[in-house]
Amino acid sequence: MNPISLSVARRALAWLVLSSGGALAASSAHTGELLFGLFWVVLAAALLGTLASKVGIPAVVGQVLAGILIGPSLLNLVRPGDFFLTLAELGAIFLLFMVGLETRFKELLAVGREALLVAVLGIALPLGLGFGFGLWQGQGNVSALFVGTALVATSVGITAKVLQELGVLDARFAQVILGAAVIDDILGLTLLAVVSSLGAGRTLSAVQVGLTLALSVGFVALVLAVGIPLVRRFQNRLSNLSLSRAFNVAVVVGLGIAALSTVAGLAPIIGAFLAGMVLAEIKDEVEFESKVHAIEAFLAPVFFVVVGLQLDVGALSQPTVIVAGLILTVLAVAGKLLGGILGAWSLGRHEATLVGLGMVPRGEVGLIVASLGLGVGIIGERVYAEVLLMVLLTTVLAPLVLRAVMRRRVPARVLH
């Protein structure tokens, strides 16, 4: 068939089947299937998100649980296929873009030292703890390193959404978390590259590692150093744009920088966050936010539900796996919490604790590392299931604790 609407043509083909065979089963055409899937995702996210809010739990936790509920391990209404994974990634991109729009670079820079410390400690401690855990289990060096790496990367989307829901994105501890997340991603992906190459039986030279690091650091610096003066310069012209044109500019800039960031070896959500932060420089003059917010409101829940879809709790049947997974979870929490508290100590004990809690959720990132290790045969099904439990617990419980602690401990002035 020529380069034409495959998915739509499938609907027509299903019709061919339907009409010739008379069987309604043909209605399970591809488009219809995806639409039903999206319907379940949006419905489950709305219901469990609302329910969660009503009982005082962050909506995002309800949405992750919604994904587990409708996913392959329980109701099996939706499978996390390519379309949903890409749509979820778009959701995460719009979420971080929106978070960027609510962030001032100056304020982020003001906590740069704390963010760097939090990121470095929050990588070193979980990596060491996970590596030790793997060795203690009798795994080989490379396999243990993979477990350590799966403990490293924070899922900033989860935390950012909780902070956004509570309206504290501009609090100092929230800025530290966001700054640390950017550095976390740079260091985490570099680490993954090193560990993966070890897994493939190669060794990266120091020069290669240095280049990899320099590329991603350079990209972040370039976007901010060129982007901010640039939008300031065109500020007048941009502020004369109609609402719909301003929205076009925002989406083009957001998607463009997100796409470019993948070339620099960064996650696209980091690029989206940077793009948002660049545009935030002129947001008092140009109205970007309301429309971007509507898209985020539609797609970000898709992201959280898809995180849940990937958590196949059916893998968690053996008691020994559960015990080992719980130990791994304790190490994962301890590593990030300690890294956050030590790194952000200068903010005071309460806020430092919030930073540490904010770095705990591993979400989709830990899963990617573990499934990569499983895919190339470095870790086994058993270790994968242990990591899965760690991801599940850190993703679902950390926002609960963060919210509870914040409500109780943070003085009103911090919450502005």
Of the ranges 135-143, 195-203, 227-235, 395-403, which one interacts with a second copy (CB under 8 A)?
195-203
Going by C-alpha positions, the residue among 38, 33, 40, 30 that lies closest to residue 10 is 30
Any contact of residue 35 with a second copy (CB under 8 A)?
A: yes
Please give the DSSP secondary-structure letter assigned to residue 171: S
Any contact of residue 98 with a second copy (CB under 8 A)?
A: no
Positions in 59-78 near a second copy (CB under 8 A): 72
Q: Work out which of 267, 352, 379, 402 binds a second copy, going by CB under 8 A.
A: 267
Residues contacting residue 135 through CB under 8 Å, at least 6 positions apart: 141, 144
Positions in 206-225 near a second copy (CB under 8 A): 208, 211-212
Going by C-alpha positions, the residue among 186, 256, 269, 247 that lies closest to residue 227 is 256
Going by C-alpha positions, the residue among 387, 402, 332, 394 that lies closest to residue 363 is 394
Residues contacting residue 158 through CB under 8 Å, at least 6 positions apart: 60, 64, 304, 307, 361, 363, 395, 398, 399
Contact predicate 7/30, CB 8 Å: yes
**Closest separation in Å from C-beta 214 to a second copy:** 13
When the beta carbons of 296 and 351 are compared against a second copy, the nearer one is: 296
Of the ranges 130-138, 320-328, 333-341, 374-382, which one interacts with a second copy (CB under 8 A)?
374-382
Any contact of residue 152 with a second copy (CB under 8 A)?
A: no
Positions in 271-300 near a second copy (CB under 8 A): 290-295, 297-298
Q: Work out which of 57, 58, 60, 89 binds a second copy, going by CB under 8 A.
A: 89
Question: 150 in helix, strand or coil?
Answer: helix
Positions in 340-369 near a second copy (CB under 8 A): 364, 367-369
Any contact of residue 252 with a second copy (CB under 8 A)?
A: yes
3-state secondary structure 295-323: HHHHHHHHHHHHHHHCCCHHHCCCHHHHH
Q: Work out which of 114, 184, 312, 386 binds a second copy, going by CB under 8 A.
A: 312
Rg (CA), the chain: 22
When the beta carbons of 108 and 195 are compared against a second copy, the nearer one is: 195
**Closest separation in Å from C-beta 370 to a second copy:** 8
Residues contacting residue 81 through CB under 8 Å, at least 6 positions apart: 37
When the beta carbons of 290 and 320 are compared against a second copy, the nearer one is: 290
**Closest separation in Å from C-beta 323 to a second copy:** 21
